[in-house]
Amino acid sequence: MVMHFSLCYHILCIHTFYLSACCIIHNEKTYDFTSFLNAIFLITSNQNLFFTQSFVSSYLFSSCHFRYMIKHYQHFLIFQFAVHEINKDPHLLPNITLGYQLFSNFHSNKLALENSLIWLSGMGPTIPNYNCELQHKSVAVIGGMSSTLSMAMATMLGLYKVPQVTYGPFDLLLADNVQYPYVYQMGSRESTLHLTVIKLMLHFGWTWVGLVISDNMRGEQFFNNLKEEMTRNGMCLAFVERVPKKINLEHDESIKLFSRIIASSSNVIFIYGDTDSLFEFSILVNDFYLNGKLLITTSYWDFSIDVTKEMNHFHGTLIISQIKREIPGFTDFLRSVKPTVNTEDIFLKSFWEITYYCRLSKKGTVELLHYVCPEMDLVEGVYSSDLEKTIMDLSYNIYNGVYLLAHAFHQLLETLVYGNNSFPQGVTNFCPCLQLHHFLRCVNPDLDDKDELCGYTARMADERYDILNFKIFPDYIAKQVKVGEVIHHGKELNIHEEDVDWPEDFGQTPSSTCSVSCGPGFRKTLQEGQPICCFDCTLCPEGEISNQSDTEQCLKCPEDQYPSKEKDRCLPKTVTYLAYEETLGMALAAVALSLSLLTTLVLGIFVMHRDTPIVKANNRSLSYTLLTSLTLCFLSSLLFIGRPTPATCLLRQSTFAIVFTVTIASILAKTITMVLAFRATKQVSKLRRLMGTRVSYFLIFICTLIQMCLCGIWLGTYPPFLEKDTHSEFSFIVIQCNEGSLVTFYCVLGYMGFLALVSFTLAFLARNLPDTFNEAKYLTFSMLVFCSVWIAFLPAYQSTKGKAMVAMEIFSILVSGAGILTCIFVPKCYVIFLRSDRNTLSLLKSKANP
């Protein structure tokens, strides 16, 4: 099994080496049949390191930070542990000892290809198409920490149909069954990773984020998935930068790339890619620093490996990682790993001396050290907490890969024909590579059901992710602390914000929005040519509200409610009408009663002085009728005050119209009587007979009957009705009477105006009659006042609504009635009470015969 292993990812050191740890036959196993897993590891890659060319001596490291050693040496430890556990399992591969060969490719595609050829040639001369005897006992290859390395190995291994299990991130290119039919990926599909990112953004309210992706198919697929989901949730990408694998750090383009990232208004940047594809970008980040930016990434981009300088500027970074799994027995295995026990492990000696900064022999890995290593195991070490990460991501994929091959090989052996408790003849020369492919697609070590498919065709994305927080502690130890998790396809997020350490540039949870959130009472107005996340906040129009933040449309309140002053909620409207209890209603009612009492008083005065010349001269009976109708006019205005009912709506306009028609008809009768009386005094004619009382009352009756007919038509076709006016007054529901047919209503008013105009015309023509008949001038003024009031009433009535409209009509009734009372009867009362010397028959006769 060829496996790509890296101790110090970024420290190139050694040539390809070969470690033989195979052909171990356990005593309890009966048959001498060994199988090999072949592994290619990237141990270190620092060109300043020197090495010995022997495959049996340890490597001499001049400098290598222990943290980087731990990160990739744990891959080899989990690999060893898996093989060790399988060999101890009496049910899995019984009578078979599983061994392995180890190669290093130093993260070089060329060396990965060369190592594949060396393995195929059996560690001898690299002769194509030559397989040594050892090769017949090999099962498969585990290799490829990155997709590029896996592809390089697959180019050679695929020619011989050798099963290759990769443990790096899942890549769609490797999923091509035509180009790479013998490659099986242990990395999970990241089909829900973008949903996890969205859930995290929704939780913290980040709607304006930047995206940095590796310039490959994995990056493009993630970008497409994330963009689609962000659009669905009303989020936007401030920028998208694709980072090529090779960046000229001294070229202007790299500076421009970083300048665009820093200049962005987004405070949150998501970085997607693996350590390999973002290696040089990590150096760029370390050199320039992303001040004022919160970084979010995945565990596949291990920036702590790539960056060799101080990493304080990465403090607070959030890391999305596949959820941690427990592997029983691994801690006990670590306790057994000691250089004094595993004397043949040349890697352990180098790892031990560099990690704990000591020496195990006179000539240690670091020759300048004089401190002798104490007796301890890996768990007891100062940095043992870092080794716990072996059960995450790549390490867990290695563990799964070993068991995947073991289960597949186990199923393959079970299909062979057994006899006499021994393998069939020639089985020791049996090469399982070709037959193993069928079982790799039929066994999944994660499932109890052996019929489930495995490999990349069946490994779906993990539905659970850990949210880790990268923290730099005061002792300069970097830790990834779990602060939350996302489960069930990203639908549920549990995060403990109190445990999160944000970057030093943020005193609290950072915000990342293009525009400030629009609070209640405002709506979002998109800025022209900008993404939907960039908007202006506009106050809701009159009559509308928004009770949530960042609403795109304001809502209208129900008809029985009105917006608050802040326009963030609807308040219930108060039912109102022109009531007697309020000031305006009380004042109008008082005026109406006062005028009706005053008119009644004048009527009483005329009745008391009915035999005086001035009362007789002005048609006494018509004066009584006029005063009585005026009293009723004033009282009819009271029907407009108070809570309207269907009965009052039917009565008030028709009552007012009929009573006022009687008033105007009485004035018209007085005017006609006055004109006819004057002509009768000048010449003897038949007109004297028309001066009788019956004719005057007949005229009043005819005029009133016509008005009654108009009102009857009005009430019979489209009568007034009770309604609730929710629009006239902002915060009130006005209970009022709708006039029904406005045409009929204006016909009623127009008819009264016609009678008033005729009366005014006749009175005006008779204004120069002798003083005996001086009532003509008063009638002229009364009709002038009446017409003026009602002409002004019509436009005012149309322009007002609600209670003001009702008050306007009451005011017109009272003013027009008061004008008639004042102009006609006040001069007469003046003569009766203050100029009684003029109220004599002799004076009237003398003025009648000048």
Beta bridge partners of 36: 99, 138
Q: Compute the average pLDDT of residues 51-77.
A: 48
Q: Compute the average pLDDT of residues 825-844.
A: 71
Is a pLDDT exceeding 70 seen at residue 657?
Answer: yes
What pLDDT sits at residue 200?
A: 92
- Say if CB 139 and CB 405 are below 8 A apart: yes
User: Among residues 233, 237, 1, 189, which one has the least CA distance to residue 98?
Assistant: 1
At the topology level of CATH, where does 19-189+329-416+424-440 sit? Rossmann fold (3.40.50)
Beta bridge partners of 271: 212, 297
- Say if CB 400 and CB 185 are below 8 A apart: no
How far is Cα 227 from Cα 233, in angstroms, rounded to an integer? Answer: 10
Q: Is 499 helix (H, G, I), strand (E, B) or coil?
A: helix
What pLDDT sits at residue 686?
A: 55
- Say if CB 810 and CB 786 are below 8 A apart: no
What pLDDT sits at residue 14?
A: 24
Q: What percent of the chain has pLDDT over 90?
A: 17
Q: Provide the residue type at 337 as one letter.
A: V
- With bands split at pLDDT 50, 70 and 90, how would you rate the model's confidence at 80? confident
Written as one string, the DSSP assignment of 720-779 is -EEEEESSSSTTEEEEEEE-S-HHHHHHHHHHHHHHHHHHHHHHHHTTTS-GGGTHHHHH
What pLDDT sits at residue 392?
A: 59
How far is Cα 760 from Cα 14, in angstroms, rounded to an integer? Answer: 124
- Say if CB 484 and CB 493 are below 8 A apart: yes
Least confident of 75-89, 168-182, 359-373: 359-373
How far is Cα 830 from Cα 738, in angstroms, rounded to an integer? Answer: 43
The reply to whether 583-848 shares the fold of 19-189+329-416+424-440 is no
How far is Cα 410 from Cα 408, in angstroms, rounded to an integer? Answer: 5
Domain segments of the chain as ranges? 19-189+329-416+424-440, 522-572, 583-848
Angle, helices 693-717 vs 742-765, to 10°: value is 160
Beta bridge partners of 236: 208
What pLDDT sits at residue 779?
A: 83
Higher pLDDT, 419 or 502: 502
**CA within 13 Å, CB half, 160:** 23
- Say if CB 843 and CB 801 are below 8 A apart: no
What pLDDT sits at residue 241?
A: 93
**Angle at Cα 45 formed by Cα 44 and Cα 50, nearest 5°?**
85
Is a pLDDT exceeding 60 seen at residue 458?
Answer: no
Q: What mean pLDDT, rounded, does the chain reach?
A: 76
* 9-59 pLDDT, tens digit each: 222 222 222 222 232 222 233 333 344 455 554 333 332 222 222 233 333
Does the structural domain 583-848 have CATH classification 2.40.50.140? no
What are the distances in angstroms from CA 523 to CA 513, 537, 547, 821? 16, 6, 10, 59
Beta bridge partners of 468: 319, 482
635 contacts: CB under 8 Å, gap ≥ 6: 592, 596
Is a pLDDT exceeding 50 seen at residue 204?
Answer: yes
What pLDDT sits at residue 361?
A: 67
Least confident of 21-35, 407-421, 776-790: 21-35
Give the H or E element holding residue 61: none
Is a pLDDT exceeding 70 seen at residue 369?
Answer: no
User: Among residues 478, 136, 552, which one has the least CA distance to residue 313?
Assistant: 478
How far is Cα 537 from Cα 545, in angstroms, rounded to an integer? Answer: 13
Least confident of 12-21, 360-369, 574-583, 724-733: 12-21
Q: What percent of the chain has pLDDT over 70?
A: 73
What pLDDT sits at residue 327?
A: 79
pTM over 0.85: no
Max alpha carbon distance in the chain (Å)?
Answer: 167
User: Among residues 734, 692, 745, which one has the least CA distance to residue 577?
Assistant: 734
Number of H helices, E strands in the chain: 22, 23
What pLDDT sits at residue 128?
A: 59
Written as one string, the DSSP assignment of 289-323 is --TT-EEEEETTS-HHHH--S--GGGTT-EEEEEP
Backbone dihedral angles phi then psi of residue 2, each to the nearest 5 degrees: -95, 125
Is a pLDDT exceeding 70 seen at residue 256?
Answer: yes
